Structure 1
Amino acid sequence: MERAIRRNKLPAWQVFLWWHHFFLLWTTIDGQTRYSLPEELKQGSVVGNLARDMGLVVSELYRRKLRITSEAGKQYFSVDLGKGELVVINRIDREDLCGQRPSCLLPLEIVIDNPLQLHRVEIDIQDTNDNSPSFHTKEKVLQIAELVNPGARFPLESAQDPDVGSNSVRSYLISKNDHFKLTVKTHKDGRKIPELVLEKPLDRETQPVHNLILTAVDGGDPVRSGTCEIIVIVLDNNDNAPQFERLVYEANISENARPGSEILHVKAADADDGLNGEIEYYFAEQTADLILSLFEIEPSTGAIIVKGILDHEINPVHRFDITARDKGNPKMDGHCGVEIKIADINDNIPEIIVTSLTTPVPEDSAIGTVIALLSARDPDSGDNGKITLSVSSKSLFKLNPSVSNHYSLVTTGPLDREENGQYSVKIRATDSGKPPLSSDKIILVELLDVNDNRPVFSQHSYVVYVKENHAPGKVLCSVSAADTDLGENSKISYSILDSKVQGVSVSSYVYINSDNGSIYSMHSFDYEKLKVLQIQVQAKDQGSPSLSSNATVHVFILDQNDNAPAVIYPSSAALGSLSHQRMPRSAKAGHLVTKVTAVDADSGHNAWISYKLAEATDASLFAVNMYTGEVRTKRAVSEQDDSSQRLLIEIKDDGEPVQSATATVSILLEDGLHEPILDLRHKLHEPSKKTGRITLYLILSLASVSVLSLLTFLILAVKCVRNSRSSGSCCMGRTDCDDYKNPNRNLQIQLNTDGPIKYVEVLGGDMLSQSQSFRSCMSPMSPMSEYSDFTMIKPSSTTDFNEVISVLDASLPDSTWTFESQQVSKTN
């Protein structure tokens, strides 16, 4: 009550009023009523007639507001106001209300108003056997060592029964077994404690676990019971060694297995338990270091794992021992063997080994010459180790198989060092694995040079142009030859083959540097004596035997203006420098007085001659033709003209520098002098048809000579290209020069032209000797035939040039024509 007051925290006046009413109520309590009833009565069960037992009038119960309060807090009973009976309205569980107390009273307070009365009723709840004994755990595990002696006691868990008295636990029972019995020990508080007593020794290896059923029985009616399973685990003693399932474990694994790959599991069993039966796996103590580097074992599972790199070629099989060891005390071991076969894969590239090599090899080696001996090796096994060697089909070499995996490399064709100084022979080795592996070997075969190539000139023939009068010792040209051989076989020396030029050895004209092929002149050349020099040059190597080749050098001498014009007529040799001519005073204008004839030993422009009247007694009377040298009257002679006329005629060539000569002509004017030349002229010109016909014949003759000369020149040029040997000029064949040594047996007719033809030369004899010349002029120098076309003159001799035999007053192409003939007699 005090708690209620404190909990509600009422004011002081209310507290006073509450105590006042309480005392008044307490004075109204009439006795105490007690009922006894079993627990678990059904709802609606009547406990007793409360109105009758309390002496109340049933009809007044409603008016007086009878009500029930309970200290239990939960209402288990109610009053039927119509009958006055106390009725059960909720399930009553003695164990919930009173637990294990022997007495269970449930107090009720009956409050009645008008007047206020308070009755106390006690309900004695009687226990019924409505609960079975139960254990706190349904399973109890006991661990008992197998070495424990019989008689040992092991307390068990007591059963709990909420009921009291005879309804609680009365006894314990144990299931039937061969090793244990059950005893019950009673404590001072009355509790009964079951104990398990060992009657027979335990053997874990025989029976490691014993399953027992403990039963608790109460004293109720009917009897109720509860059970608990007792599991007796026999603790092991380490009296058994681990035993492997197999004595030898075998496994296959590829050699390309990566580290960490699992190979196999070894497994051992130990009949012991606990630590005595826990096994760890190890390599045997005597295991080689190689095995320890390649494999490892998982101690707890016995898994053997790849640790290192496996190689079938190094060791195809690995054998070792494994130890299984328990954790007992003392520890016990078991042993087994392991055999691991390493399966081969094609992981090795074939290797080519050169056991013998012959190099360098002479390039003229015969077909089938053995160059090298080879062998092949592949450490793989089976098809992975079968090797095939091959060489390119385009190679000049092939492989001939010998004994197992041995081959010889031989030549299949001719070798040529100049074409390929070194042969790179690629040999491929391929195994028969899947996929196949291959490797290449390059064998360098060097060739030893053989002198099998002649020197080759850079040109088949050389053409050189040299001006005459050059300084002796001048380099005319350099010839060059190459030899594709090596060493001494390619060293070239140059020489000039002996031949004759105008009867003289060619070595007197030139010499050659044997090392570099430079050709030097021995002395200066004179175009007027030698126009073409043909040289045969030989290039010879120093091989054994030596080889050589030839080339032709054509040296053309170029003319220089080194000769002044020479006056042929009037002859200065017979009459000195003065020529006396006679001319009638009756001469008309255009009268041919005389003709000055000069020649120039040079050629081309250097030999073009022009005539000019330098001085004259009477320049108005005479004129000189610039091209022909004819001296004619410009007008008719008069009586006043002097009878003696003197003319100075200057003769110049067209060279650079200009060379010149002069001729002095003295003319006597006479009366009554006959003019046979005029008569002849009239006779020649009488029939005009005849004169025209002669002119036509002359033109046709000149054209024929020109065509014939051109053909001759072309034929000679072809012969020069074909390198025909000649001791004279390159334009003369050897067959035509058999008699060339005789300087007087050859006659040459040469037409020298540069624009208009100036003259034709007929040459005879050696150019180094005095030449024989026959001269033919366009107009006669004799006064008896002024208009003759040709006049033959006796041969004269010159020391510095070839005399001209005729001069043609016509225009021909600028070229030179040469004709050969037998020498004519010096006499007329």
Structure 2
Amino acid sequence: VSSLRRGREVWQCPLLSLLLLAAWEVGSGQLHYSVSEEAKHGTFVGRIAQDLGLELAELVPRLFRVASKDRGDLLEVNLQNGVLFVNSRIDREELCGQSVECSIHLEVIVDRPLQVFHVEVEVKDINDNPPVFPITVKTIQFHESRLLDSRFPLEGASDADIGVNALISYKLSSSEFFFLDIHTNDELRQSLFLVLRTSLDREETAEINLLLEATDGGKPELTGTVQILIKVLDVNDNEPTFAQSVYKVQLLENTTNGTLVIKLNASDADEGSNGEIVYSLSSDMSSSVQTKFKIDNSSGEVRTKGKLDYEETKFYDIHVIASDKGTPSMSGHCKISVKLVDINDNTPEVSITSLSLPIQENAPLGTVIAFITVSDRDSGTNGQVTCTLMAHGPFKLLSTFKNYYSLVLDSALDRETIADYKLVVIARDGGSPSLWATASVSVEVADVNDNAPVFAQPEYTVFVKENNPPGCHIFTVSAQDADAQENALVSYSLVERRVGERALSSYVSVHAESGKVYALQPLDHEELELLQFQVSARDAGVPPLGSNVTLQVFVLDENDNAPKLLTPGVGGTGGVASELVPWSVGAGHVVAKVRAVDADSGYNAWLTYELQVAADGSRSPFRVGLYTGEVSTARALDESDAPRQRLVVLVKDHGEPSLTATATVLLSLVERGQTPKASSRALAGAADPEMALVNVNVYLIIAICAVSSLLVLTLLLYMAFRCSVVPTEGVCNPGKPRLVCSSAVGSWSYSQQRRQRVCSGEVPPKTDLMAFSPSLPQGPDSAEGQAPSESKYFGKPRQPNPDWRYSASLRAGMHPEAGEVSPPVGAGVNSNSWTFKYGPGNPKQSGPGELPDKFIIPGSPAIISIRQEPTNSQIDKSDFITFGKKEETKKKKKKKKGNKTQEKKEKGNSTTDNSDQ
């Protein structure tokens, strides 16, 4: 409450100017203040920051601001102390007219996080407007013949204030002829009448001056006056009269121009010209009424003139004068009270403020995106507006206050699915038919790093030939990231690990941007067959996301290693071997063997042996096995053969181009007695050649039966195991190579070569399988002629003889002949593997060329298939040693008869040695 002096008074006491009430409205969550109109600049309104629970220090960082629609900058907030004060002059009448309620609605907005508060500042009316009459001088003509208590209506004063300040009381100056009569209708509207108290006598008093004073109820009181000049007329005693003093009419605000409002009919008791009535509108009415309505002078019809608008004026008071043509003329008065009826002729208005865009795709549910304000100038149901979203998607509208809405996030966003939303806000009023308006909102979704780079497949297989140039490009990896901008910028790097004793980065590198993989040095198949590593792809987001891809680089073999000769047996050094050959040996007798290996693999390690033709072109009595390297007699030796034979064996691989090595074999032809003595075990077994052959056959039969029994037993055990136990290890699981022995006569093992197992779908891994002759050493722990146990080899895989470096899958077709089977190809030494030898009297065994397609290996859950590839190489039957028939050898004529028995013994020993070999 404050004390305001008339017009220009100033505030007397600061304490009185600061006594304003501020309270929270129960249940609404709206902050209320009040301030008097015409308050001076800087007038305290309220401690808004404190009342809203905000710290003064966070007002500026959180962008504290106050917004008011169509209210300008009437109020402002001091960001230093959080006080809401008057910034400019507030005129309540200008803001709200004569509306009972007048408030300034403020939106207090702070960011980080975004919050909005609704503040309503009530503008209190002060008595700053005095009552005002339409005119300053009012002239009234009264006939002297007027009866007592004759009434003349007066136009009252109007006050722009409201409430008590607009409550007007009237006071008429003292007069013996007139007094003032005031009537108040149901709508609390006052009607003033000047009432004749005593009869008039024009001859005594021709004019009467009165002063009508209007005083409002404010404090201090304000007044307005109008001077009333009454002229007393003579003649014409009767005035026109209306049936009603007040006529009430309702009109729709969309009434067209010229619509009939009412037809008046006044009556006059006089006759002649004194009874003829002329209608007119009172000149005391406001200009707004005169521009909206008109009256026909003769008929009394009141019609509209111009457009009526309920939103501008809801009520019109039309004062009509009915005057007769008497002299002097007399008049009667009535009032037409026109009430406009609202129709739904205003569409809603939508405004969108405080947009928080773009919105992060990981924004939490309930995040406020925008504030929406709706309004409608209509009243009642026509002005009730509801707001909805069309195709709202992951958003919804929440009503925060009357005609205020918040656009909030309703469900999770995914920029990779939809990056931009076009929302349409529809505001619809409650009229019939309803009117609606729309506003568009474009919501952009900002990207966050929520997608890791993805490779097309988890693993790639790359084949690179060995001896590649340093720095050559071998492969390109590429990962895609569904994010945008820097979150989708992918860089590549190696997942460092050790390859043997060296770091992975010494072998390969990857370009960080392009993903190209380079080999930094020449690769060697013999050193490294498979290089397996991972490449990591990471994006540039914060925090970065990444994924890995596995690269399997297989190094393909090239023929870059020539065959290497192994150290021959006794009597040989380096590439030269010396052997003693008895003159008495027959055709097919093995006198020496050339052993060679090739560090390459596949066809590049497939070795063949050739005997070079002598320089003089003479035909040598010796020959060499094409694949075995065994040097044997091509025919029986005779006296024409030189006692010293020098054989040059050419060892050649199958690479492109082929690489070769040569071995020299020096053979000395000697008499039987000059050959080296056999071992005591061999001699003991060769006392009787026929008995030795029989013993060997018995051993072979026992071994074959044992192997067959073992295979049948293993098959039964395996079938029982398969029926009772479900295997848990897949065929593609890595494991150590196993050595499996089938019998004491022949042994099966995996290839010595370093093997990689590559799986694709459900195809079982391919494994090389080799067979070894029982005469070959099986390892340092195995005894000659004894098959190693399954548990021994499965517990610790044994390294096969280095002679066997070529897989059985590359060996060509076999040609069984005379009870003996040998492979047509042999890479390396001991090429008589897969050779099953047996003496006469035994049933002929099937060689490897007649083996079944599949073998069941004891202790293994898989069935191993052996695929034999055909070859064009043909093997001479003479390359094989035939047992079971006696060889007749030419005897030198110079030998004595006593040596025949010794020669038979030596021949038996030689046969036994060949069998062992």
Please report the TM-score for the alignment, with normalisation by the length of structure 1.
Answer: 0.51
Task: Quote the residue 1:505 is aligned against.
Answer: 503
Pick the aligned partner of 1:775 from 802, 808, 820.
Answer: 802
Matched, 1:635 2:662: no
CA contact (8 A) 1:473 1:520 kept: yes
Q: How does 1:235-246 map to 2 (within 5 A)?
A: none
CA-CA distance at 1:246 after TM superposition: 6.2
Q: How does 1:397-408 map to 2 (within 5 A)?
A: 397-408=395-406
How far apart, in 2, do the equivalents of 1:632 and 1:702 lie? 36
CA contact (8 A) 1:775 1:806 kept: no
CA contact (8 A) 2:392 2:423 kept: no
CA-CA distance at 1:642 after TM superposition: 3.2
Task: Quote the residue 1:492 is aligned against.
Answer: 490
Per the alignment, do residues 631 and 357 of structure 1 end up closer, same or farther by CA in structure 2, a change over 3 Å counting?
same
CA contact (8 A) 2:424 2:438 kept: yes
* Deviation sequence 1:668-724 (CA, Å, 0-9, x none): 3333265969988974675545435546878999999xx9xxxx9x869446xxxxx
CA-CA distance at 1:525 after TM superposition: 0.6
CA-CA distance at 1:503 after TM superposition: 1.1
Task: Quote the residue 2:653 is aligned against.
Answer: 653
Pick the aligned partner of 2:753 from 750, 754, 757.
Answer: 750
CA-CA distance at 1:758 after TM superposition: 9.6
Per the alignment, do residues 327 and 748 of structure 1 end up closer, same or farther by CA in structure 2, a change over 3 Å counting?
farther
How far apart, in 1, do the equivalents of 2:443 and 2:452 lie? 24
CA contact (8 A) 1:417 1:447 kept: yes
CA contact (8 A) 1:262 1:303 kept: yes
CA-CA distance at 1:465 after TM superposition: 1.9
| SS at 2:518 equivalent | strand
Amino acid at match of 1:775: P
Per the alignment, do residues 350 and 415 of structure 1 end up closer, same or farther by CA in structure 2, a change over 3 Å counting?
same
CA contact (8 A) 1:583 1:667 kept: yes
| SS at 2:541 equivalent | coil
Amino acid at match of 2:802: R
Task: Quote the residue 1:381 is aligned against.
Answer: 379
| SS at 1:750 equivalent | coil
Per the alignment, do residues 732 and 587 of structure 1 end up closer, same or farther by CA in structure 2, a change over 3 Å counting?
closer
Per the alignment, do residues 411 and 570 of structure 1 end up closer, same or farther by CA in structure 2, a change over 3 Å counting?
same
How far apart, in 1, do the equivalents of 2:586 and 2:259 lie? 141
Task: Quote the residue 1:610 is aligned against.
Answer: 608
Task: Quote the residue 2:700 is aligned against.
Answer: 691
How far apart, in 2, do the equivalents of 1:539 and 1:685 lie? 72
How far apart, in 2, do the equivalents of 1:466 and 1:304 lie? 107
Pick the aligned partner of 2:467 from 466, 469, 472.
Answer: 469
Please report the TM-score for the alignment, with normalisation by the length of structure 2.
Answer: 0.46
How far apart, in 1, do the equivalents of 2:589 and 2:425 lie? 103
| SS at 2:665 equivalent | strand
Per the alignment, do residues 581 and 450 of structure 1 end up closer, same or farther by CA in structure 2, a change over 3 Å counting?
same
CA-CA distance at 1:472 after TM superposition: 1.1
Per the alignment, do residues 326 and 662 of structure 1 end up closer, same or farther by CA in structure 2, a change over 3 Å counting?
farther
CA-CA distance at 1:383 after TM superposition: 1.6
| SS at 1:546 equivalent | coil
| SS at 1:372 equivalent | strand
CA contact (8 A) 2:264 2:301 kept: yes
CA-CA distance at 1:459 after TM superposition: 3.2
How far apart, in 1, do the equivalents of 2:779 and 2:403 lie? 87
Deviates more, 1:499-508 or 1:645-654: 645-654
Per the alignment, do residues 615 and 757 of structure 1 end up closer, same or farther by CA in structure 2, a change over 3 Å counting?
farther
CA contact (8 A) 1:644 1:668 kept: yes
Amino acid at match of 1:691: L
Task: Quote the residue 1:528 is aligned against.
Answer: 526
Per the alignment, do residues 277 and 370 of structure 1 end up closer, same or farther by CA in structure 2, a change over 3 Å counting?
same
**What are the ranges of 5 or more consecutive residues in structure 1 without an aligned counterpart?**
1-237, 720-730, 734-746, 765-771, 779-786, 791-801, 816-828
CA-CA distance at 1:500 after TM superposition: 0.5
Per the alignment, do residues 486 and 556 of structure 1 end up closer, same or farther by CA in structure 2, a change over 3 Å counting?
same
How far apart, in 1, do the equivalents of 2:771 and 2:618 lie? 29
Task: Quote the residue 2:669 is aligned against.
Answer: 669
Task: Quote the residue 2:213 is aligned against.
Answer: none
| SS at 2:560 equivalent | coil
Amino acid at match of 1:750: Q
How far apart, in 2, do the equivalents of 1:260 and 1:618 lie? 145
How far apart, in 2, do the equivalents of 1:466 and 1:763 lie? 34
Q: How does 1:686-765 map to 2 (within 5 A)?
A: 686-688=695-697, 690-691=699-700, 694=703, 717-718=732-733, 749-750=752-753
CA contact (8 A) 1:774 1:804 kept: no
Per the alignment, do residues 469 and 488 of structure 1 end up closer, same or farther by CA in structure 2, a change over 3 Å counting?
same
Q: How does 1:161-560 map to 2 (within 5 A)?
A: 250-257=248-255, 264-265=262-263, 310-318=308-316, 339-391=337-389, 395-560=393-558
* Deviation sequence 1:543-599 (CA, Å, 0-9, x none): 334343333222221222222222325489963543333333322232223332222
How far apart, in 2, do the equivalents of 1:572 and 1:690 lie? 29
How far apart, in 1, do the equivalents of 2:571 and 2:325 lie? 153
Per the alignment, do residues 462 and 608 of structure 1 end up closer, same or farther by CA in structure 2, a change over 3 Å counting?
same
| SS at 2:354 equivalent | strand
Q: How does 1:590-629 map to 2 (within 5 A)?
A: 590-616=588-614, 619=619, 621-629=621-629
How far apart, in 2, do the equivalents of 1:573 and 1:333 lie? 165
* Deviation sequence 1:185-237 (CA, Å, 0-9, x none): xxxxxxxxxxxxxxxxxxxxxxxxxxxxxxxxxxxxxxxxxxxxxxxxxxxxx
How far apart, in 1, do the equivalents of 2:328 and 2:626 lie? 152
How far apart, in 2, do the equivalents of 1:334 and 1:578 lie? 158
How far apart, in 1, do the equivalents of 2:708 and 2:659 lie? 33
Per the alignment, do residues 686 and 387 of structure 1 end up closer, same or farther by CA in structure 2, a change over 3 Å counting?
same
Amino acid at match of 2:516: S
CA-CA distance at 1:516 after TM superposition: 2.7
How far apart, in 1, do the equivalents of 2:496 and 2:779 lie? 27
* Deviation sequence 1:427-480 (CA, Å, 0-9, x none): 443433334444444444434444444443443333222111111112222223
How far apart, in 2, do the equivalents of 1:554 and 1:701 lie? 40
CA contact (8 A) 2:594 2:829 kept: no
CA-CA distance at 1:358 after TM superposition: 1.9
Per the alignment, do residues 697 and 340 of structure 1 end up closer, same or farther by CA in structure 2, a change over 3 Å counting?
farther
Larger Rg: 1
CA contact (8 A) 2:607 2:652 kept: yes
Deviates more, 1:510-519 or 1:302-311: 302-311
Amino acid at match of 2:668: L
CA contact (8 A) 2:492 2:536 kept: yes
| SS at 1:691 equivalent | helix
Task: Quote the residue 2:899 is aligned against.
Answer: none
| SS at 2:505 equivalent | helix
How far apart, in 2, do the equivalents of 1:270 and 1:648 lie? 164
CA contact (8 A) 1:773 1:805 kept: no
Per the alignment, do residues 314 and 521 of structure 1 end up closer, same or farther by CA in structure 2, a change over 3 Å counting?
farther
Q: How does 1:14-33 map to 2 (within 5 A)?
A: none
How far apart, in 1, do the equivalents of 2:371 and 2:544 lie? 35
Per the alignment, do residues 371 and 580 of structure 1 end up closer, same or farther by CA in structure 2, a change over 3 Å counting?
same
CA-CA distance at 1:523 after TM superposition: 0.8
How far apart, in 2, do the equivalents of 1:761 and 1:274 lie? 161
How far apart, in 2, do the equivalents of 1:628 and 1:699 lie? 28
Per the alignment, do residues 613 and 350 of structure 1 end up closer, same or farther by CA in structure 2, a change over 3 Å counting?
farther
* Deviation sequence 1:351-378 (CA, Å, 0-9, x none): 3332322223344444433333333212
Per the alignment, do residues 397 and 805 of structure 1 end up closer, same or farther by CA in structure 2, a change over 3 Å counting?
farther
CA-CA distance at 1:506 after TM superposition: 0.9
| SS at 1:472 equivalent | coil
| SS at 1:615 equivalent | coil
CA-CA distance at 1:530 after TM superposition: 0.8
